[in-house]
């Protein structure tokens, strides 16, 4: 069938809306009419860093929409269902069954390469292959092919224009707190970088009643959002001669028990580790600097932990319904982070989020 997609023609290129051809769903696939898609930094960073030979390409990995067609082997999903799309996993390998679906041995092939496992693409244009299948969906399009393993059926009463970010940003930030760190009332959490992922982490911490929550960012507008979620805010640009490390230690009674970095900035990560208390733990979520320097003596002598996490160690089939329930109860307030744009304004939305004008842009057809 013909549909419209936002195509990136080359590394770093603006998105261009184009008519493309979408395959009919195979036996294990589902066709979704996309209602809205969150725009994530990952869409932009991968677009800007993939080699030229992996273009043209359709990105998008926070889709929400309505099921239009279901393959013969798909169970648990029906035509007319409302769904949120997330990342793919095989759900059968040793990593999936023991470590979690975020650590699937086929993660790269299923989510990043741009084609099905047999090398075919779900999209074509003028008869030529068009790379897609980003996070098993490529939802910067009016229609997308996904799978039962990366679709979560949601209540039809919910507004699909507000749900896409649960597929990545919201579950990553919140999952890191709920699944990985699990701080309590006597603990402290510091979040470095309070975009959508960071604020979702703050919101999750608030739902747990964490004793002290601190947000560190250079953008006053984002710190205002963080403050609304109960965080004590630190802008490094306003500290004068005081270091971020000293200020965080002051606010947390000698050092943070838990921390999350969403920036991927080497200097920020170094400070985040230094500001931990003994046996404190930092989870690194941001993809930025390929390497960063740490104080080995500090880590060893103080028993500090630095680790990564994929999607907050979330299983979308579990975490997304959990977060939607928390949101319905008022305990996970992230709806205010969303700013909607018509899909035709995708490049303006990308510019606004990079400039810090908005926290979470969502593109609506």
Per-residue pLDDT of 55-91, as tens digits, reads 999 999 999 999 999 999 999 999 999 999 999 999 9
Question: Does 155 fall in a domain?
Answer: yes
Q: Is residue 270 part of a domain?
A: yes
Question: Would residue 315 count as lying in a domain?
Answer: no
Q: Which of 295, 310, 325 is the last residue of a domain?
A: 310
**Does residue 102 sit in the same domain as residue 145?**
yes
Q: 48-59 pLDDT, tens per residue?
A: 999 999 999 999
Which residues constitute the domain of residue 150? 2-167+334-364
Cα separations (Å) of 55 from 8, 50, 200, 362?
A: 7, 8, 32, 24
Q: How many domains does the chain have?
A: 2
Say what the pLDDT of residue 131 is: 98
Residues 192 and 290 reside in one and the same domain: yes
Summarised one tens digit per residue, pLDDT across range 146-181 is 999 999 999 999 999 999 999 999 999 999 999 999
Both 244 and 209 in a single domain?
yes
pLDDT at 195: 94
Query: Same structural domain for residues 178 and 149?
Result: no
Q: What is the pLDDT of residue 286?
A: 85
Name the β-bridge partners of 6. 17
Say if 328 falls within a structural domain.
no
Do 74 and 48 reside in the same domain of the chain? yes
- Residue 356: band (very low, low, confident or very high) from pLDDT cuts 50, 70, 90: confident
Residues 230 and 295 in one domain: yes
The whole-number average pLDDT for the span 180-198 is 97
CATH number at residue 87: 3.90.180.10
**178 & 161 share domain:** no
177 and 230 belong to one structural domain: yes
Q: Region 28-36: what's the mean pLDDT?
A: 98
Q: Identify which has the larger pLDDT, 173 or 240.
A: 173
Burial class (CB in 10 A: 0-12, 13-18, 19+), 80: exposed
pLDDT at 330: 94
Q: Where are the beta strands (DSSP E) in the chain?
A: 2-8, 15-22, 29-38, 57-58, 63-70, 82-85, 123-125, 128-130, 143-147, 151-154, 188-192, 212-216, 232-234, 256-261, 276-284, 305-308, 338-342, 360-364
- Is residue 104 domain-shared with residue 39, that is, in the same domain? yes
Q: Kindly give, in sequence order, each residue whose CB lies less than 8 Å from that of residue 99, ignoring residues fewer than 6 positions away.
A: none
Residues 190 and 294 occupy one common structural domain: yes
Q: Are residues 110 and 160 in the same domain?
A: yes
CATH number at residue 235: 3.40.50.720
pLDDT at residue number 313: 97
């Amino acid at each position: 069938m013909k549909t419209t997609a936002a195509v990136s023609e080359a590394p770093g290129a603006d998105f261009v809306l184009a008519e493309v051809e979408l395959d009919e769903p195979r036996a294990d696939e589902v066709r979704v009419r996309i209602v809205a898609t969150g725009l994530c930094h990952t869409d932009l960073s991968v677009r800007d860093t993939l080699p030229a030979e992996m273009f043209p390409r359709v990105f998008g990995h926070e889709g929400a929409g309505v099921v239009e067609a279901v393959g013969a082997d798909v169970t648990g999903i029906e035509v007319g269902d409302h769904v949120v799309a997330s990342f793919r996993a095989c759900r059968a390998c040793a990593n999936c069954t023991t470590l979690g679906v975020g650590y699937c041995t086929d993660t790269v092939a299923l989510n990043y390469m741009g084609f099905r496992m047999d090398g075919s693409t779900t999209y074509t244009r003028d008869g030529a292959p068009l790379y897609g299948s980003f996070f098993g969906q490529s939802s910067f399009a009016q229609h997308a092919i996904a799978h039962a393993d990366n679709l979560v059926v949601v209540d039809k009463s919910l507004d699909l224009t507000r749900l896409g970010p649960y597929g990545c940003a919201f579950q990553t930030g919140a999952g890191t707190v709920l699944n990985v760190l699990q701080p309590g009332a006597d603990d402290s959490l510091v979040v470095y970088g309070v975009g959508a992922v960071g604020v979702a982490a703050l919101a999750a911490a608030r739902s747990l009643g964490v004793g002290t929550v601190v947000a560190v960012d250079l953008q006053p507008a984002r710190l205002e959002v963080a403050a609304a979620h109960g965080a004590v805010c630190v802008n490094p640009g306003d500290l004068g001669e005081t270091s971020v490390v000293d200020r965080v230690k002051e606010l947390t009674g000698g050092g943070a028990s838990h921390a999350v970095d969403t920036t991927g900035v080497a200097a920020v990560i170094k400070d985040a580790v230094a500001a931990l208390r003994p046996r404190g733990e930092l989870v690194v979520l941001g993809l930025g600097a390929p390497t960063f320097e740490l104080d080995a003596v500090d880590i060893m002598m103080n028993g500090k932990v630095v680790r990564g996490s994929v999607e907050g160690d979330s299983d979308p089939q579990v975490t997304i319904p959990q977060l939607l329930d928390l949101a319905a109860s008022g305990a996970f307030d992230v709806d205010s982070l969303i700013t909607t744009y018509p899909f035709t304004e995708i490049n303006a939305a990308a510019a606004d989020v990079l400039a810090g004008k908005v926290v979470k842009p969502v593109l609506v057809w």
